[in-house]
Chains A and B, each alone.
Chain A
């Protein structure tokens, strides 16, 4: 079960030529600046745009293949699409909107009551779309797409038209959805925050081409790729809760071949979480400090040092037994600690600066 996609299309401004795979189940985020061709991929996969050349296969079924002139129209692809601005039918109630795809699809595993419960839209069923808030509308649109029993879910910047509070409101539903869904999801965004929270793997798009492709922790720690080149650069690690120390109000998380103390997390031992450690919060040291307030002193090996364009700082990739940390330090710190690729180094991380996210 997966989606494989190759496509070429020439726009006046950009030439698109890319190929990648979306594994199932899991969320693959297409990440890149606007105008880089992300939406073209989505439209082609949905069948709403016919590229110059393409080959799209879903679970071994050919949706489109220019070589053999195969082209399934959107209504026969079983591909769900969530638009940037919901596109609910204004002349129908929320319930009728939700059932639009359900009524036209063959029986499938997605049940009406479950979707309504999962997205928290039970109270909205009798309302009209124009009386809903932007976040509510988007939740209904996601439900409508899921109830059409799709084999692939496409999401085209579903949060881009929402303000920050609405985004925060809808995010928990998306992370919950992510752990429930049993299908490949292709999610387009240019927000690194959304990508960090939702992605299992990332496809970096730059000017119509795939600039990088891999699991989120790997892409997030590659300082040579665009994803780690913002103010907000930081490492992402998949962790498991190893211990809950209620007395000290701390949680011990294992991941990356090491362990981290974080402020107490409301969760159970064994639960999976992803943690994000912002590069600006990581201090590098040559020897262990004593009597210091922070909990995490983690040893690693310098893998790469990348100067940051337009800044006086560098990003240091610190390899852990499994995984990588990022640290933003000054050029001066690098020369004082005599850091080069291969140096042993200690990363000091305040427990409170580690962001604990969903699974």
Chain B
């Protein structure tokens, strides 16, 4: 249970800043290959999760191009670890977060950024004091929905990080494992209820937070 929460928290913690950056790039700039980049970002949404997990395995496995680099230079091993589970979750929820942030960036009034420019605010100043606060409802909703999705991520995690109790066995994996064992239905049911509760809390929280922030922004 705690493992699941920390794995998800790390996935969102690392994934969200990247998602914001990606959303900003996609929302603000027109460049060749933009459509391709957008498609790439959304790929995990349409690919079978197992395929995503397998691709990660190839990329980040000890002998994979990225994995070998991390292992040789920093001694970091992602495959079959809790960090690996986080990576798998982050990749899977990335499109959800990017989408949410991007929508709120696109709905923000560009005139406000122009106003900030004429008042002497440079690029980063504008990003942190105007653009991101205006997009905060989308960012927060993206984070919460992303977190809730992480809690339930199965296919990519089991493929990339395997199902090791206490290390990479997140809630859905535990439910799956319980169901595989004779007499495990009770445990599975118990875990499922927890899962259901967490999902419900996540959705309600995002609804409430979005409404609060929008009220602050006067929408």
Contacts and interface: CB of A to CB of B under 8 A. Distances in A.
Do A and B associate with each other? yes
Interface of A: 46-48, 73-81, 83, 85, 87, 89-91, 100-101, 104-105, 128-131, 144-145, 148
Given A101-B120, A104-B120, A87 B115 contact: yes
A90 B117 contact: no
A83 B115 contact: yes
11 contacts: A47-B117, A75-B118, A75-B122, A78-B120, A81-B118, A83-B115, A87-B114, A104-B120, A128-B218, A144-B119, A148-B119
A134 B117 CA distance: 23
B111 interface: yes
Given A75-B119, A100-B116, 19 more contacts: A48-B118, A73-B117, A74-B114, A78-B120, A79-B118, A83-B114, A85-B111, A87-B111, A87-B114, A87-B115, A89-B130, A90-B219, A91-B216, A100-B119, A104-B120, A128-B216, A129-B218, A130-B218, A148-B119
The 5 closest A-B pairs by CB, nearest first: A130-B218, A101-B119, A104-B120, A74-B117, A87-B115
A131 to B, nearest CB: 8
B121 interface: yes
B117 A48 contact: yes
Nearest to B214: A90
B37 to A, nearest CB: 27
B218 A80 contact: no
A89 B112 contact: yes
A81 B116 CA distance: 10
Interface of B: 109, 111-112, 114-122, 125, 130, 133-134, 136, 216-219
A271 B176 CA distance: 89
B131 to A, nearest CB: 11
Nearest to B109: A87
Contacts of B109: 87
B118 A145 contact: yes
Contacts of A101: 119-120
A130 B122 CA distance: 25
Given A48-B114, A104-B125, A91 B134 contact: yes
Contacts of B118: 46-48, 74-75, 77, 79-81, 145, 148
Nearest to A91: B133
A91 B115 CA distance: 14
Contacts of B114: 48, 74, 81, 83, 87
Nearest to B218: A130
Contacts of A81: 114-115, 118
Contact of A145 (B117, B119, B125): B119
Nearest to A141: B115
Contacts of B219: 90, 130
A104 B134 contact: no
Contact of A83 (B111, B122, B125): B111
Contacts of B130: 89
Contact of B117 (A75, A85, A129): A75
A101 B125 CA distance: 12
Contacts of A104: 119-121, 125
A85 B114 CA distance: 13
Contacts of B122: 75
